[in-house]
Amino acid sequence: MNPYLVLDLPPDAGDADVRSAYQRLLRKYPPENRPEQFQKIQEAYGLLRTSRDRWRWKLLHLNDHRIGPVEALEEFARLPARMTPPGAKPFLALLKSCAAAAGRDAVKPTKKR
């Protein structure tokens, strides 16, 4: 997980930016309400706290798990404050596709054993 994306920071963010982004997100995602998001934010903050930390991450990070592009996109969309209403057209397209798939499911012939 890219800590810059988690904290919603530009690549040239400095110490003060990191700290204020961390504090802003902590207020938005308190641990008692959103433990998973809180943990992500904590981890990201730990990786970017000092300028040396930030360079260490930028230079030396390596993905230890390869995921598909679709999963990468979905992971990106699930970052804090990332997903917004997509607009009527894409939302309805998603619903339409789900309805078509559900229609196929509903009439799928059951296999006899």
Shortest distance in whole angstroms from residue 38 CB to other proteins: 13
Residues whose CB falls within 8 Å of the CB of residue 76, separated by 6 or more in sequence, listed in order: 5, 82
Cα separation, 5 vs 44, whole angstroms: 9
Beta carbon nearer to other proteins, 64 or 112:
64
**Residue from 4, 22, 38, 45 in contact with other proteins (CB under 8 A):** 4
Q: Using alpha carbons only, give the angle 81, 84, 89 rounded to the nearest 5 degrees.
A: 165
Restricted to residues 46-85, the positions that interact with other proteins (CB under 8 A) are 51-52, 55-56, 58-60, 62-78, 80-85
16 binds other proteins (CB under 8 A): no
110 binds other proteins (CB under 8 A): no
**Residue from 20, 31, 43, 91 in contact with other proteins (CB under 8 A):** 91
Q: Using alpha carbons only, give the angle 59, 62, 67 rounded to the nearest 5 degrees.
A: 145
Matching residue, tokens 């057209």? 89
Number of residues that bind other proteins (CB under 8 A): 60
Closest by CA position to 5, among listed 75, 109, 70: 75
Token digits for 85? Answer: 């209403």
Interface with other proteins (CB under 8 A)? 2, 4-5, 9-12, 33-34, 51-52, 55-56, 58-60, 62-78, 80-103, 105-107
